[in-house]
Chains A and B, each alone.
Chain A
Amino acid sequence: MSTPKLSKIMLGLVVALALPVVGAAQESHIGKLTGHSRPGQGLYTRYCWGCHGARGDGNGENGPYVTPTPRNFVSATFKCRSTPTGTLPTDQDLFDAITRGFNTSNMPAWVTLTGQQRADLVAFVKTFSPRWKTEAPGKALSIPAEPAATVQSINQGKGIFQKLECWKCHGQEGRSDGPSAATLTDSNDQPIRPYNFSVGGRFKCGDTNKDLYRIFMTGLDGTPMPSFADVVKPEEAWDLVHYLRTLQVTEKSPELKLWESTKEGAAIVQAKKVENTPTGSGIKP
């Protein structure tokens, strides 16, 4: 095959691949960084398309084999946001998601990329959906300073856990075994499991108390996890955070230590723990 012919075929293939991806140039602004979609495209082609696909619709060659399915950037529905449910995330939200990765999926932490590269990727991800041209990101949730955890706040959080019926999905002990757990599906009609607190591990959207606060106040769009911003006051939200930490019996948190210092808490935690499980979870099945 002659070189010119080969070149034409190659060009045709690449253009054909690129044609459905029609979007305007985008920028992202993260702190002092300004990301640009053009270099972001090169990075996307190198790192991301295998799962998220050339069109950004989550149908990369590995899409069918990945659980949960890769994010569909065309729909612009993102789980991890600091913005109200239904709104677009901030650039910082997308940047954090790329940096952090998702523990319970195939998405790794891209912390080894430079900040500029991640900012460029954010800019390019924003080219996939027309929503970024017509809508502005929602206003970032304001998170008040965290009050000190007390036994009282943990007990109050326990009450909120019951009142909001978190247990219906997460289970009374946070083991992801509530009565609704088996019926849950995401916006792609794929089965989805609620977070299992008793196994511990990083939350989908971060691992700090602030992240946990943000998760249930903004909800995880595209999943059954709703936003509780309208029904939970900030001080109640912190109580709930403190209680949820005590459900993570394998994570050494100040809240768990405090909880174990009470007779009731110690008994509950001890009942949940079991030593030397083969998979290392330390949790009774």
Chain B
Amino acid sequence: MYVWETEVTRGKLSWLASSLLCSFLTLAFLLADARPASALPLVTAKVTALPAFARKYGMPCSSCHEAWPKLSPFGQSFKDNGYQMGNDRDAPIFQSPAYWPVTFRMTPQWHRETTDRVGVDGPVVGGVPTTVEQRVTTHGFDWSGLDFHTAGTLAKNFSFYLLPASDNTGAFHFEAIWARFDNLLGSSWLNIKVGKFELDNLLSEKRILTLSSNGGLYQNYHFQPMVSPGVGESLYTFGIGDNQVGAEWMGHSKNDRTRISAALLSSNDGSPGLPTSRGYDTFIAASQAFEAGSLGLQRVGVFGYFGQAPTYYQYTQTTTTPIGTDMINGDPVINTTTSPVAGTGVGNKSFYRAGFIGMWYVKKLDVTSIYFRGWDNVFLGTNTPANQPLPAGARAPTWNGGLIETHYNINPTILLLNRYELIRMDRQTFQSNPSNLGDLDSLTFGFRYYPFISSRAGFAFHNEFSVVRQRGAAPVTGLDVTSKSYLAGFDFAF
């Protein structure tokens, strides 16, 4: 057929050209300098792509995913509808009894990590150990953690999701666990979810298409300002990309063009056992999609997370543990540990993250753009207990961030991707800080090649390079830190 042949020929040329370009750029970056780098956290991405759904409905991955695990508008609608297509195949009673709604995902890989200006032990000077900065590089074959997704419907309009996930040592935790009432009172505007879940982020970090240590997360989703040079970030932990614990109301129009959600969340950043405080946070998101002729579906939205975090613990607990006997005088040796009593965090202070998002489709090209705004209370920004006086000159830090992520789907089997993020401090915690302290730039690009598209399993050859630079983050000199990752791996799910 003429159409197909033309498509094939064009696709081949585009693929070759794109591969050459990608390979060249990758090589260029690998051979490029090795300027300084920050010991940014190595995050294991917990991503979602469920061949179990494909098996259930007999549809290829590409129906719900632009390129798995990223959702297409159809996949987003399927998710918003409680993992239901809206026909009578949704309820498990219509499924073969042998159907098992489970998906495994893992990524054996080769990766290379380079971070300059890492604080390491230096020579002992005058009997005093010192710290010096060195560039640290490592590479080799490795594997990711294991994601063990099980999700679907318990009955028509009762959906669930359970994700025990491990790091690459096999240590498991529950990344997600929730149940949802869908379409209450027959309305798509009334869906209630309770448990631990991903926030209603249109740009989902759980479905991120990049996997490397630096590129496998959205920097804007986890950024916290530095207190002052050499001190590091504020101590409270929060990430808008982290799964949170709480209850969510979500509503959407039948065709999913309009989406809105609000969540009430425990202020524990998704940690189990209520470890920090008794506070509650709120997350709201809303978006509207519209058709733009032959270009495709465009979507714009807003989001905001309004949280609080404790600044000190009301109670502490001291435990003494005999650990042996003094060899000289025979006295018992006691280890004394003082730790906060979980859940008694007080002196809550607030913070927010908010922004706008636009998801733009130009046929095979899609671009996601986000503007972020962040603010931390001055007590959080300076790590000061609320019952203590603030350091002189302390201010509430604010910052702005931006993200542009581009995907080019040559066809459902080949995806080129690129992302640039920047974060710029608007107001430093201390006026004496350099104005750009903590500013961050991140560039990630690569491609994913899916040699087959089926409804049984998914496989992608993943190739990615990512570089992150943060201003003034070096632990000793306060210079910039640059960190680079390269990852090539076989990403598969079944």
Residues of chain A at the chain B interface (Cβ within 8 Å): 3, 7, 10-11, 14-15, 18, 21-25, 37-39, 41-42, 45-47, 49-51, 61-62, 65-66, 101-117, 127, 201, 279-280
Contacts and interface: CB of A to CB of B under 8 A. Distances in A.
15 contacts: A3-B16, A7-B12, A25-B3, A39-B294, A46-B62, A62-B455, A101-B85, A104-B88, A106-B85, A109-B85, A109-B87, A112-B74, A112-B256, A114-B291, A116-B293
Nearest to A124: B3
A172 B3 CA distance: 51
Given A41-B7, A50-B58, A112-B73, 10 more contacts: A7-B16, A21-B4, A47-B62, A51-B59, A103-B87, A104-B87, A106-B59, A107-B87, A201-B88, A280-B156
A108 B2 CA distance: 29
B479 interface: no
A216 to B, nearest CB: 22
A133 to B, nearest CB: 13
Nearest to B90: A108
Contacts of B16: 3, 7
Contact of A114 (B5, B7, B296, B411): B296
A45 B59 CA distance: 11
Given A105-B87, A106-B89, A112-B73, A49 B291 contact: no
Nearest to B292: A114
Interface string B242-262: 000000000000111000000
Most interface-central of B63, B364, B411, B454 (chain A CB within 10 A): B63
B65 to A, nearest CB: 10
B428 to A, nearest CB: 45
A113 B63 contact: no
Contacts of B42: none
B108 interface: no
B86 interface: yes
A112 B3 contact: no
Contact of B1 (A22, A116, A201): A22
Contacts of B60: 46-47, 49-50
A56 to B, nearest CB: 11
B63 A46 contact: yes
B4 A18 contact: yes
Contacts of A66: 58
Interface in B5-20: 5-8, 11-12, 15-16, 19
A42 B88 contact: no
B412 interface: yes
A42 to B, nearest CB: 7
A103 B19 CA distance: 43
5 closest A-B pairs by beta carbon, nearest first, are: A62-B58, A108-B85, A18-B4, A50-B60, A112-B77
A103 B88 contact: yes
Contacts of A117: 296
Given A101-B87, A112-B256, A127 B291 contact: no
A11 B8 contact: yes
Most interface-central of B1, B12, B74, B86 (chain A CB within 10 A): B1
B6 to A, nearest CB: 8
B277 to A, nearest CB: 40
B183 to A, nearest CB: 13
B19 to A, nearest CB: 7
A98 B364 CA distance: 22
A176 B292 CA distance: 45
A61 B457 CA distance: 13
A106 B296 contact: no
Interface in B127-158: 156
Contacts of A102: 87
B87 to A, nearest CB: 5
A50 B59 contact: yes
A18 B1 contact: yes
A196 to B, nearest CB: 11
B3 A50 contact: no
A21 B1 contact: yes
A117 B294 CA distance: 8
Contact of B4 (A41, A50, A109): A41
B21 interface: no
B56 to A, nearest CB: 9
B24 interface: no
B86 A109 contact: yes
Interface in B56-78: 57-60, 62-63, 73-74, 76-78
Contacts of B76: 112
A7 B7 CA distance: 15
B297 interface: yes
Contacts of B57: 106, 108
Contacts of B363: 39
A25 B2 contact: yes
Interface in B368-410: none
Interface string B449-473: 0000011100000000000000000
A7 B18 CA distance: 13
Contacts of B58: 50-51, 62, 65-66, 106
A279 B85 CA distance: 19
Contact of A45 (B78, B256, B411): B411
